[in-house]
Amino acid sequence: MQKRGVEHVRIDAVQHGRRLDNFLTAHFGSLPKSRIYQMIRRGEVRVNGGRVRPDHRIAEHDDVRLPPASVSAPEKIHVPRRVVEQLRCSILYQDPTLLVLNKPAGLPVHSGSGQAFGVIDAARLLFSAGDSLQLVHRLDRDTSGCLLIARDHERLRELHDQFRSGKIRKRYTALLQGNLGRPVIRVDVPLDREARVHGERTVRADAGGLPSQSRFRVLRHLPGATLVSVAIATGRTHQIRVHAQHIGHPVAGDDRYGSREFNRRMRGCGLKRVFLHASSLAIPGRPGTGLNVEAPLPEDLERVLQRLASPVATAKKGKQGFLESRR
């Protein structure tokens, strides 16, 4: 047990978008949740000098004031062995300072919000000196693909700087509703992440939001849908999904920003999640030392494309209006 004084924590890119109560629970270890909520309710915890609610989403560069507290070491997180082995088989690249994983869909990057463990917890069990492993960025739970983990704090700071300056190039593969009429569509639309729809926090296109740029490039036309490669110059919460909705071609399987009818049709092709995959990362370095990593499209998404392109499936779905493209 140790006594901590008043702390001021600067939120980094990895913690961006996390609920305040989950952030505090992870920070204070085994401190009872009742005490966590008491600190928030009394205003002992401040974000940028102001009071906030437990469900407030912290953002990169926020200053979080933490009150003195007596805490013990955090409880050990149990990760099923099958998950650890799954992560072992998903390593795309590793060196003494960096680890790149092909994150499986359905696995969150860290614990919290009802999740007992995440990718980072499993990764720390895989490697010696696991406590030094830190997430460089985040992927949504249902998004698969390239995920960066730094193996020391110096590399973590370097990669954060490269992300903030836009030097790291990220590409995603997504399946969109309808037929994109142009081979390339550029979207430069600010996003507001504080919007609420039916009481649920969500993201929307808004002139008063944060600058956000995406480029959608057609890879393949399919019946009623288009497979695209998406390059993002910024990494806003739900950016690809909201920009796809904004141009009238939402991402397949997206229950929040997508089309209910289109998603129902995609479930008929075997889609069980958002069709979004972080397909590649390019990290700059000195001449000849840059890193390019690619993650192949997972089998579950490949099967969806095969069924969608199948003449038999097309004929059956065509009778139900499958070939219609909704904008």
Q: In the chain, what are the domain boundaries?
A: 2-71, 81-162, 167-318
So what's the pLDDT on residue 321? 42
- 228 pairs with which residues across the strands? 174, 218
Q: Is 2-71's fold the same as 81-162's?
A: no
Running DSSP on this structure, what letter comes out for residue 20? H
> Which CATH number is associated with domain 167-318?
3.30.2350.10
Give the residues across from 19 on adjacent strands. Answer: 57
On the 0-12 / 13-18 / 19+ scale of CB atoms within 10 A, 252 is: buried
Q: What is the gyration radius of the CA atoms in the chain, in angstroms?
A: 21
Q: Has residue 183 got a pLDDT over 50?
A: yes
Q: Could you tell me which residue, 291 or 325, shows the higher pLDDT? A: 291
What pLDDT, in 10s, does the model give residues 246-283? 999 999 999 999 999 999 999 999 999 999 999 999 99
Which of 12, 62, 140, 254 is flagged as catalytic? 140
pLDDT at position 60 is 84
Active site residue 140: yes
d(C-alpha 48, C-alpha 50), whole Å: 6
Asked if residues 166 and 155 have their Cβ atoms less than 8 Å apart, the reply is no
Is 99 in a helix, a strand, or coil?
A: strand
CATH of region 2-71, choose from 1.10.3720.10, 3.10.290.10, 3.90.79.10, 3.40.1190.20: 3.10.290.10
Average pLDDT across the chain, whole number: 85
For residues 192 and 208, the answer to whether their CB atoms sit within 8 Å is yes
Residue count of the chain, please give it.
327
**Cβ neighbours of residue 175 under 8 Å, at least 6 residues apart?**
222, 225, 226, 227, 228, 251, 252, 253, 266, 275, 301, 304, 305
pTM of the shown model: 0.76
Which pLDDT does position 19 carry in this prediction? 85
For the cut 80, the answer to whether the pLDDT of residue 7 exceeds it is yes
| pLDDT exceeds cutoff 50 at 324 | no
Kindly report the CATH number that applies to the domain delimited by 81-162.
3.30.2350.10
DSSP state of 73: P
